[in-house]
Amino acid sequence: MKGVEVDPMNTTFAKTMEILTYIGLVVMIVPGIIYIVTGIGYVNTADAVENWGKSASEFWKATKGIEVHGYSWFLNNLTYFDCLSIIGIVILAITPLVSIIASITKADSKYKVILLIVVIEFIVAIVRPLFMHVTGH
């Protein structure tokens, strides 16, 4: 019986996805658990629960009295466990992008253009909040 051959592009994509997913989950879960257990965070757990059903803009107004734009609201508060756990979410969010970039090096030329277009779309989605007001009204 012959083994299954997998294109190196797919193997690279899958391995990168696997590694970064594990890293992202650990970086998200460990500070998240510490936040839940200790209650020490940028937003205290009681306020989070009380305002859970609100839109993002309403949530931040109610809990911190601020309007959130871009990423600075959590980057400036990485000493708090709830903000630190967001780094894990960031890792999970960029995992497909990093995996696609890694797989481009192994891709046939016919796939490279498509993958580059997808990379550009990801990058636009990442930087969009820095230039446009997109907080979820």
So what's the pLDDT on residue 48? 87
CA distances from 136 to 57, 59, 69, 110 (A): 6, 10, 11, 38
pLDDT tens-digit profile of 66-83? 888 777 888 888 889 888
Residue 43: name the closest of 61, 63, 17 by CA. 63
**pLDDT tens for the 137 residues of the chain, in order:** 678 888 899 999 999 999 999 999 999 999 989 988 887 889 888 898 999 999 988 999 999 998 887 778 888 888 898 889 999 999 999 999 999 999 999 998 889 999 999 999 999 988 887 777 655 44
What's the whole-model pTM score?
A: 0.75
